[in-house]
Amino acid sequence: MLFSRNQLRGSGRKAFWSTILAISVFLGVGTTVWLSLVFSSHRSPCIADNHSNLAPPSVFWSPPYTTLSNEASFSAPPYVHPSLSNNGLAINHLVFGIAGAAQLWDRRKEFIKLWWRREEMRGFVWLEEAVKVQEGENVPPVQVSEDTSTFSYTHPLGHPSGIRLSRIVAETFRLGLPNVRWFVMGDDDTLFNTDNLLRVLSKYDPSEMWYIGSNSESHRQNDCFSHSMAYGGGGFAISYPLAEALAAMQDKCLERYPSLFGSDDRLHACITELGVPLTRESGFHQFDVFGNAHGLLASHPLTPFISMHHLELLDPIFPHMSALDGLRLLTKAMRTEPGSFLQQSIAYDHKRSLSFSISTGYVIQVFPEIILPRLLTRVETTFTAWNRDKAPLEFAFDTRPSVDSVCQKPYLFYLEDMQIDPSTSRVVTVYKRLQSVDEEKSKNLCWSKGLPPSQVESIRVVSERASQKFFSLPRRQCAKLLETKDRVLHINVGACMSGEVISTS
């Protein structure tokens, strides 16, 4: 024999343990790769929050659902479209469907109270189970969603509640409310500018099928879910005829898409089957970002602001106030002058090399250098994407890097008050200087002589209200620096004159 029995036994043991080691290494590497794909900061956005009220799976339970409606037996009220030329669109022609979760209701309802007007608006908050609502509380009535447990859901990382949320439009339609032209979707942490929403929707004929909304700010989110899908947290509007068609076919449609992640993609899939494309209105803001939203609010696109989302994921809007108090102040400005709210105007003091960026109702930034409009209108990345990255390719809009140098940072004047002058119908807004910026500059020995606090403590802006033309043909307003009196700098904002150029004003 070439080998003894002991030698053969020994070689067999070595082969056995080698095999075990190889399998262990393979499993270890495979597990590491899988975990890196799931938990890496560069993971696919498909597992990110496609709909903000999808709470962690551990907080869901089996609620007492209502009976699932039979869509085939439902008879919708006949739709009679009144001529918009004779009867304009009013707020009671809209019905809001607010997606929520019962366990988040106590704190999320505070966001709804910011914009809801109980005496004027129609709508419902849709939850998975009933909650107590105080009599007279400024919130929409609560509806309990129908049971969706019979629908198939196979996505490995999402939650079946996405099915429930995707059916809110159809369930709201089946309530049979009269004289409805538009169904508006949003989340319980969405802030709506309903005045602008109304004026934007007035551009469209509600007797046709419309699906109106906007994409995510995140390029990865859009790339994963769809670039032609409206994101529900930012809000979207569906016309009555489309809601009617959706209610008649959605349940069967949902069975064809068990592998989708959330609610927005399911709704988009069914609307796509009806042949209706997304009509983009970029004033709907999903706000798929973390942290400081200053850059987004200070350089809003030249379009009417309609909504903002993920209010709990953002830092306080005003650094000297709590998150909720800051939102209340911001909402006050939004209600005072909805049309020009957050619209950016730019002015220059060329003698002192100062650039003024005015975000109406929020902040005035005064940069200690001349920054031309093409750059100043780009969004400063004071925030991060879902994966905590700030790279320009993460975002679906023009960005500029956050200012790191203390000496190059702008002086900040935050909103203090906004009112309408009854004698002129013009908007008077006062912005107060943030002292911490000056203190930081002083400590770093980069104090600018251009705008010392001893000369300017606050800025008073008098501006024109947005005209109806702005909603169909937007143009940036021009700003003019006036006198400084009693440590108050005065600025006028209004329509640009013929031949006026922003960079030379």
pLDDT tens, 55-69? Answer: 333 233 233 333 333
Residue 6 confidence (pLDDT) above 90: no
The contacts of residue 352 (CB under 8 Å, 6+ apart) are 449, 450, 451
Q: What percent of the chain has pLDDT over 90?
A: 76
Q: What percent of the chain has pLDDT over 70?
A: 82
Residue 466 confidence (pLDDT) above 90: yes
Q: How far is CA 46 from CA 60, 158, 218, in A?
A: 21, 9, 12
Burial 409-424 (b: 16+ CB within 10 A, else e): bbbbbbbeebeeeeee
What is the pLDDT confidence band of residue 504, given thresholds at 50, 70 and 90?
A: confident
pLDDT tens, 126-161? Answer: 999 999 999 999 999 999 999 999 999 999 988 999
The predicted structure's pLDDT at residue 12: 53
Nearest-angstrom CA–CA distance, 349 and 482: 10
Burial 374-394 (b: 16+ CB within 10 A, else e): eebbbbbbbbbbbbeebeeeb
Better pLDDT: 462 or 77: 462
Q: Confirm if 382 and 409 have CB atoms less than 8 A apart.
A: no
Residue 1 confidence (pLDDT) above 80: no
Nearest-angstrom CA–CA distance, 246 and 273: 10
Average pLDDT, integer, range 362-373: 97
Q: What is the CATH number of domain 77-280?
A: 3.90.550.50
The domain spans of the chain are 77-280, 337-504
Residue 77 confidence (pLDDT) above 60: no
Token couple for 131: 């909650």
What is the pLDDT confidence band of residue 76, given thresholds at 50, 70 and 90?
A: very low
Taking residue 444's Cβ as centre, other Cβ atoms within 10 Å add up to: 12
CATH superfamily to which 337-504 belongs? Mannose-6-phosphate receptor binding domain (2.70.130.10)
Helix, strand, coil percent content, the chain, rounded in steps of 5: 30, 20, 50
Residue 42 confidence (pLDDT) above 50: no
Q: Confirm if 342 and 359 have CB atoms less than 8 A apart.
A: yes
Q: What is the pTM of this model?
A: 0.84
Handedness of CA 490, 495, 501, 503 (dihedral sign): positive
Closest CA to 97 of 195, 175, 149: 175
CA angle 484, 490, 491 (to 5 degrees): 140
Closest CA to 310 of 218, 402, 418: 218
Residue 43 confidence (pLDDT) above 80: no
Residue 38 confidence (pLDDT) above 60: no
The predicted structure's pLDDT at residue 57: 32
The predicted structure's pLDDT at residue 37: 33
The predicted structure's pLDDT at residue 451: 87
